[in-house]
Structure 1
Amino acid sequence: MTMEQLADAARTGRELDLTGSEPLDAAVLVELLAADRPPRAVRLRGARIVGELDLGAMTIDCPLALEQCVFTGAVRLTETEAKSIGLRGSQVGYLRADNVRTTGFLDLAEIEVARGMNLNGAHIGRDLYLTRARLRHLEKTSLLAMGIEVGGNLAARDLTAEGELAFTDTAIGGHFDFSGASVRNPGGTALTADNLQVGTSLLAERFSAAGAVFLSGARVGGNLVLDDARLSNPDAFALSADQISVAHDISFRNGFSSDGPIRLIEARVGGRVVFDGSVTTRQYPAFVGDGIHVEGDLEFRRDFTADGEIRLVDGRIGHKLRFVGTSTVPAGGAAFELSSAQADILELLPAEPFRGQVDVVRTRVNELFDEPGRWPSEPGLAGFEYQILRNEGASVRQRLSWLRSDGFGYSPAGYDQLAAAYRRRGRVEAARRVQVAKQWRRRRVLNPLGKLWNWLLYLTVGYGYRTWLAGLWLVLLVSFGTSLFGGAYRSDMRAAAPSGPAFQPIAYSLDVLIPIVDLGQKKAWYPQGPAQVWSWVFTGAGWVLTTAVVAGLTNALKRD
């Protein structure tokens, strides 16, 4: 191939297919592109280009397309300015294109690079194509693309890489499509995209990564999709996306799996976050979302499984926080920690009972939908606030066992909240049962005298919530007194005056039993011997019963 033939094709912009032709010296291309009169376009296919192609710092005023070519030396485009550059399907030992600038596209689709590629600081006016590119690493980094700017889309579907991909501080005007890509750097970093900015969506369906993935501080204008992705970094975090901001949804669905924990600390999501895959971990919580802020729902669906803790300390969920998956942890570990969080609706309906600690300490929700039988033996409920209970199928007995198992000990607020929730649903009797149970459990923290009084209040009036017990006690005592004093009438009862009223055992029993009642029997008849002792007992019992009624009613009215 002569220089004249190349120049003739370049003047018209037609493509030359050099497959099977003699090798082309790279210097001939440099001379052609550096000519005073720029060609219309340089389009070569299948050429074998020998030597180093160095177009650094050049201004190329025509499209350059070197497709399916084989380069025996490096390709250098450092600080090159061009309309568009295409190396689609070519084989390159090393590609250095840092600070390259194009007004159009940079097409590196299906390129094969043996010793790494450098695009740091590149400015691409339109799209950057890396679809089906095959990259190998140079000192563990196969692609350096830090601080690049892409005016359109970055398409990297089905890319394969041996070594790290670095996109730190990169800005993409359109979408970043990583679907089907595979990156391997076991024990190290697979993808670094901290402070990445994507105008629309970041798509990583079927993405596979052996090594850590970093998206901390990234800004995504649309959705972040990791459906059917496979992440693996078992000795540390598989995905670290602290302070990421996603305008719409984050999706970990359709078979997503991660051998290593996921971090979304202080993430901001304008839509919802959905998990229905699996996360396994050896030493860290499976999912860490401390300080996460989700405007819509945060859902761990039924197909979700986590071999480790789910942690959402200080999270803010605008609508529904829903956990219906499975979280298993070693004995004594934590399964679900929601401390100091807020949500409109909390659904805790795991596929099987939690096997570790569950903490909802200082968490505030409007509606709670749960299965008390799914809670662990000692949940953390201190300061847990809710307004409405949605599961009418749970019995009061189940709810009370849930409160009794609170690992933080007796908390009157927990009982008061449960009673208030029942009252909002119109279940007054259930609310009273809860208040009785609260006073019953309160006995554990009282001194001996307080415990005795607590017992008396329970037995006599049910702490004021079962005042009918006082009437029952009154009937029993009056019946007993009638029999007792009636039998003692002839031997142990003495009239105070001959003209006094006749002795009536029922009236006498009521007179000595009820302090505020005066039926004249107590003044008219004086008991002696055992009857006198019994009259003291009845008087004392009357005072205790009356005091219990007053104290119990005061407590009940104050609460109701």
Structure 2
Amino acid sequence: MGAGAAGAGLQAGELLLRPARATGGMDLRHAAIGVLRLHDDGHERPPLQLDGLVYRSLEPHLAVNDRLELLSRDPDGYRPQPYQQLATVYQSIGQDRDARTVLLTRQRQRRTTLPWYARAWGYVQDATVGYGYLPERAAVWLLALLATGATVFALHRPHPPSGTPHPVFNPVMYSLDLLLPVIDFGQERAFQPTGPTQWIAWLLIGAGWLLATALAAGITRVLSRQ
């Protein structure tokens, strides 16, 4: 290819592309390709305009991070469609893990276009549940917070209000009561922390709500894409 390549709106059953030879960049916006053979075999990283490009198959097989690097070259900045297209192709061949990686990267790229308060909430969702694509992170956070709470309250046991009936204190169940906003084990209502442990209790309550909200938002996002 020459200094640049224009293929906007192109329709083809099969197309072989070597972006490194198109030093001026490539424009494939709104093209429709059956089999896209994309070989990036050079050290140059020319810009690629891929918004609206659709394809059924992408060859050769490369690591997902290599494909994501190609998507990041759009001189127009973040565009969601190329990420969705790549994820769809991965899903069609059963590579669900790579598809989730692409969709998570899309959310991270989208975050850069948002105002500061939306970016802050995005960082929270990313760290806690990976925008819903890594829900196992919520379990890790929950176990870490549960272990912290159980240790603190085992060493500094909260006391029940005087003269009131109460269950046997259990530091693990008490910490779970603080962390899980929609479940009541009867421990939180029966025992009152005092001094510095009150701050720990408030921290666990806030963290529990934060995890639950981030997880709900992430699951909703993932299900809406099914």
Identify whether the pair has TM-score above 0.5, normalized to the shorter chain: yes
1:403 aligns with 2:68: no
Q: 2: CA distance between counterparts of 1:346 and 1:440?
A: 30
Are residues 366 and 468 of structure 1, via their aligned partners in 2, closer, same or farther at CA, if it must alter by over 3 Å? same
Which residue identity does 1:543 align to in structure 2?
Answer: W
Which of 3, 6, 9 is 1:340 aligned to? 9
**How much does 1:372 deviate?**
3.9
Kindly report which structure 2 residues correspond to 1:243-262, keeping only aligned pairs within 5 A, or say none: none
Identity of aligned residues (%): 34
**How much does 1:530 deviate?**
1.4
1:362 aligns with 2:42: no
Q: Which runs of 4+ in 1 moved over 3 A?
A: 372-377
SS of the residue corresponding to residue 55 of structure 2 reads coil
8 A contact 1:512–1:542 mirrored in 2: yes
Identify the residue that residue 157 of structure 1 maps to in structure 2.
none
Q: 2: CA distance between counterparts of 1:514 and 1:421?
A: 38
Which of 46, 53, 60 is 1:391 aligned to? 60
1:559 aligns with 2:194: no
Identify the residue that residue 148 of structure 2 maps to in structure 1.
480
Which residue identity does 1:494 align to in structure 2?
Answer: H
8 A contact 1:388–1:424 mirrored in 2: no
Identify the residue that residue 90 of structure 2 maps to in structure 1.
422
Q: Point out where structure 1 has 5 or more consecutive residues left out of the alignment.
A: 1-326, 330-334
**How much does 1:397 deviate?**
0.3
Identify the residue that residue 205 of structure 2 maps to in structure 1.
539
1:494 aligns with 2:163: no
Kindly report which structure 2 residues correspond to 1:42-53, keeping only aligned pairs within 5 A, or say none: none
Q: 1: CA distance between counterparts of 2:58 and 2:64?
A: 12
8 A contact 1:337–1:360 mirrored in 2: yes
Which residue identity does 2:209 align to in structure 1?
Answer: W
Which residue identity does 2:174 align to in structure 1?
Answer: Y
**How much does 1:534 deviate?**
1.6
Greater relative contact order (Cα < 8 A, sep 6+): 2
Tell me the TM-score normalised to structure 1 length: 0.39
Q: 2: CA distance between counterparts of 1:373 and 1:514?
A: 51
Which residue identity does 1:410 align to in structure 2?
Answer: Y
Kindly report which structure 2 residues correspond to 1:92-241, keeping only aligned pairs within 5 A, or say none: none
Corresponding residue pairs, total: 224
Identify the residue that residue 175 of structure 2 maps to in structure 1.
509
Are residues 519 and 525 of structure 1, via their aligned partners in 2, closer, same or farther at CA, if it must alter by over 3 Å? same
Q: Which has the larger radius of gyration?
A: 1
Which residue identity does 1:386 align to in structure 2?
Answer: Y
**How much does 1:499 deviate?**
3.1
Are residues 508 and 411 of structure 1, via their aligned partners in 2, closer, same or farther at CA, if it must alter by over 3 Å? same
**How much does 1:463 deviate?**
0.9
Kindly report which structure 2 residues correspond to 1:282-293, keeping only aligned pairs within 5 A, or say none: none
Are residues 447 and 485 of structure 1, via their aligned partners in 2, closer, same or farther at CA, if it must alter by over 3 Å? same
Tell me the TM-score normalised to structure 2 length: 0.93
Which residue identity does 1:466 align to in structure 2?
Answer: L
8 A contact 1:381–1:408 mirrored in 2: no
8 A contact 1:464–1:551 mirrored in 2: yes
Identify the residue that residue 188 of structure 2 maps to in structure 1.
522
8 A contact 1:354–1:376 mirrored in 2: no
Which residue identity does 1:391 align to in structure 2?
Answer: P
**How much does 1:487 deviate?**
2.2
SS of the residue corresponding to residue 494 of structure 1 reads coil
Q: Deviations over 1:441-461 (max 9, x none)?
A: 111011111111111111111
8 A contact 2:18–2:41 mirrored in 1: no
**How much does 1:548 deviate?**
1.0
**How much does 1:498 deviate?**
4.7
Which has the larger strand fraction?
1
Which residue identity does 2:133 align to in structure 1?
Answer: Y
SS of the residue corresponding to residue 420 of structure 1 reads helix
**How much does 1:373 deviate?**
5.0
Identify the residue that residue 45 of structure 2 maps to in structure 1.
376
8 A contact 2:16–2:37 mirrored in 1: yes
1:454 aligns with 2:117: no
Which has the larger helix fraction?
2
RMSD, matched Cα: 1.7
Are residues 372 and 484 of structure 1, via their aligned partners in 2, closer, same or farther at CA, if it must alter by over 3 Å? farther
Which residue identity does 2:100 align to in structure 1?
Answer: R
Which residue identity does 1:444 align to in structure 2?
Answer: T
